[in-house]
Structure 1
Amino acid sequence: MNYQNIQLFVLIIPASLLLLGIAFIICQLILREQTFLAWVANGYILTALALAAQSLMSNQQLSHWAVITGTFYLFGIWSIAHGMALRKGSHAHPMMGVLIGLITLSLLFYFSWIAENLWLRIIILSLGMGAMQLLVAKHFLTQYPDGDMFDRALSIAYISIIIYTLVRPIVIFFFSSPDNFGELTKSNYWLLMLSASILLSLWLALVIFAITVRDIVLKLNDERYRDPLTHLLNRRGFFEEAKKLLGSHTDSYYFLLTCDIDHFKHVNDNWGHLAGDKVLQAVSKAIVKNVRKGDLVARFGGEEFVVFLRGMDIADARKIAERIREEIEQTTFNSISTRVTASFGLADIAASDDLVSAIGRADARLYNAKQNGRNQVCWNE
């Protein structure tokens, strides 16, 4: 295979990166909330363009275009790092990225136009790219144990890329010399670097696509199992989650707390359904604020809420119910001129198959609380 054919062959690799970048853009256009995909797409496309251009250049041309291709590489790598950070709820420190970029490009300019040295430029650019990736490395190192299988796979893939980027200049420095390369794009090093880059890039892309699909499924399930107004579990979601808890902790003791807003129809009739929605949202926040992590809170419909309390005795369950009741009673609303209160029924869950009957007992006690004057917690018959 002659040199021209080799050049055309190696263009397959940047072309593959370009197609992956386009695929990320399409995903982002479909899933508008996944903004991190746009940054990852930008990184893949810029890297692909720089690789494609360099694959067609001689050493002299590489020197003339070093700063421009270096800019593409550095901004592309930072874009991917920023996209990864966005998915973790952070960012890739733009000012530090600019500083790293300026230092790297200044050195590239010096060793291409003043003291031409291809060997040093490769080392400098690799270190600059590695420094860009290190800006977000802590998110993947510190959150690795807490993630699910997909998040851990993403951490491993990204950390592997960082290690490869940082090890590459060390290997070049200790195991090569400025005279070893000849024409860079004809060298075995170039082919090896392209092969490693495409393998790692494909690995990262596949993990990102898998995570995106997983996120879509979770979002669809969330919409299926949650109330759109309060973002609490709906009836279906509550039964699914409660059955899981009952099945996995058969030796634990649980309580069900049902809650119904007093005179809620009066609020809707006198101040409108928008005011009623605000009351429902405030009550849901009051309930969530006063339960513990791991307890379940659901809106069953209308003004009725159900709380699944884990691992406590009747005294603790009553304290939580009273805290919720007092929080609701003390909440003020600008849109209505009446006090909002709620009544509660509390019942234990005696066995793993007793969920429906426990709700029935709690509802019966809730009815007693209504009959006895409202704005109270009833826990006995």
Structure 2
Amino acid sequence: MIWLAAAYILPAFAIAVQSMQTNQQLAQTSVVLGCFYLFGLWAIAQGMAQRSGGSAYPKIALLISLVALVGLYYFSQVVDDLHVRMLILNIAMALLVLLGVAAVYRGQKSADLFERILRGSYLCFVAYSLIRPLVIAIAIEQGPSVELTQSPMWLLMLAANLLLSLWFIGVLLVVTFREVLLTLKKERDLDSLTHLLNRRAFFEQAPVRIQRSRNGLWALLICDVDHFKQINDTLGHAAGDEVLRSVAKVLLRNTRHTDLVVRLGGEEFVVLLNCDSLQCACVAAERMREQFAEVRLAMGQKLTASFGVVVIESAQQLQSAINQADALLYLAKKTGRNKVVSAPVADEPAGQLVSA
């Protein structure tokens, strides 16, 4: 955003200064104000490129700017030719703003409407920058003798710049405001330690996810790290935090983007799993349990966890499913820990128990 702010401030300052100058004064300040224009136009390319994870080729931009500044110096201090200076400056500005196009359109395509509008607006700005030297070339052929800042061409270009700038900054403000809201929502919904969804986000998203799904059943897996208090007491809270991060990685590794992985609180995690059957959910939980054993604690100890697994058929069952899965988790803890205990459903064996 700093680059995009510079893209507005620097050229605006140069335009404001030039609007109060005579042709003779324009020659005296052409190199200095040219720096403002050139850096400002490259800044918009760099800002848009960075939004897409790229760069607007700063070395190439520096070369273009140096060549343009040499031309501005020659046609202001050695040979005073206003229209050639305008051509040089506007061609250089068009080349600089073009440097961001590759990064913008090589980046990941966004499904967000406002982001697509912003990219389209940038493309319009690039097209305008390319057309502007052609307009100036035609003006050279006409050879106006009036002061540049009083000419119809200058006023027309000011009006076009103003309209494009107002449109672009309006779109940019909307996109920025939306990004701030999304960032705040993300911070509100994520657990700061594991970067999983937190309890609040789970109860907001889970009912919606279940209601909208048309693919099979949903299963609720509640996972609790065994002897976590002992880990904290003997190895320290830093080691305990690392254990929780390791649990989060295992859970994420064994789920898909359609599933929800949540840190419900403390050492307790919830997975809302889109699956075909209770057996499928138990197999997934067993796979997670086995991968926990691959995590080594201090002194070579293995990380273990217990699971309670139930099937959910509707969003209205969510709270009762959590209570039932919690009871099954308690049963797993009571009967030896490090196991997966599931609830019976119709057409599946009652009292199913998958243990280590």
* Pairwise TM-score range, normalised by the shorter structure: 0.7 to 0.9
**1:223 is the counterpart of 2:160:** no
Q: Tell me how far 1:139 sits from its aligned partner.
A: 4.2
| Residues 303, 118 of structure 1: alpha-carbon distance in 2 compared, 3 angstrom cutoff | same
Cα deviation per residue 1:226-263 (whole Å; 9 max; x = unaligned)?
Answer: 22221211111012111221222245422222110001
Query: Which residue is equivalent to 1:346?
Result: 309
User: Please, what TM-score do these two structures have when normalized by structure 2?
Assistant: 0.87
**SS across alignment from 1:348:** strand
Query: Which residue is equivalent to 1:265?
Result: 229
> What aligned pairs does 1:70-109 form with structure 2 within 5 A after superposition?
70-109=34-73
Q: What is the CA–CA distance in structure 2 between the aligned matches of 1:244 and 1:175, rounded to whole Å?
A: 61
Q: Where in structure 1 are there 5+ consecutive unaligned residues? A: 1-35
Matched positions, count: 344
| Residues 135, 326 of structure 1: alpha-carbon distance in 2 compared, 3 angstrom cutoff | farther
Q: What is the CA–CA distance in structure 2 between the aligned matches of 1:90 and 1:142, rounded to whole Å?
A: 9
**SS across alignment from 1:354:** helix
| Residues 67, 376 of structure 1: alpha-carbon distance in 2 compared, 3 angstrom cutoff | same
Q: Tell me how far 1:174 sits from its aligned partner.
A: 4.6
| Residues 170, 327 of structure 1: alpha-carbon distance in 2 compared, 3 angstrom cutoff | farther
Q: What is the CA–CA distance in structure 1 between the aligned matches of 2:73 and 2:212, rounded to whole Å?
A: 63
User: Please, what TM-score do these two structures have when normalized by structure 1?
Assistant: 0.82
**1:320 is the counterpart of 2:290:** no
2:221 and 2:273 in contact (8 A); partners too: yes
Query: Which residue is equivalent to 1:239?
Result: 203
Query: Which residue is equivalent to 1:19?
Result: none
Query: Which residue is equivalent to 1:379?
Result: 342
Query: Which residue is equivalent to 2:266?
Result: 302
Identity %: 44
1:107 and 1:124 in contact (8 A); partners too: yes
| Residues 343, 181 of structure 1: alpha-carbon distance in 2 compared, 3 angstrom cutoff | farther
Give the letter aligned to residue 48 of structure 1.
A
Q: Tell me how far 1:143 sits from its aligned partner.
A: 5.3
The root-mean-square deviation of aligned C-alpha atoms, in Å, is: 2.4
Runs of 4+ in 1 over 6 A off after TM superposition: none
Cα deviation per residue 1:176-203 (whole Å; 9 max; x = unaligned)?
Answer: 5161363211111111111111221122
Query: Which residue is equivalent to 1:330?
Result: 294
> What aligned pairs does 1:1-381 form with structure 2 within 5 A after superposition?
36=1, 38-142=2-106, 146-174=110-138, 177=141, 179-180=143-144, 182-250=146-214, 252-333=216-297, 338-380=301-343, 381=351
2:285 and 2:340 in contact (8 A); partners too: yes
Q: Where in structure 2 are there 5+ consecutive unaligned residues? A: 344-350, 352-356
Q: What is the CA–CA distance in structure 1 between the aligned matches of 2:60 and 2:67, rounded to whole Å?
A: 11
Q: What is the CA–CA distance in structure 1 between the aligned matches of 2:233 and 2:170, rounded to whole Å?
A: 54
**SS across alignment from 2:303:** coil
Greater shift, 109-118 or 324-333, is seen at 109-118
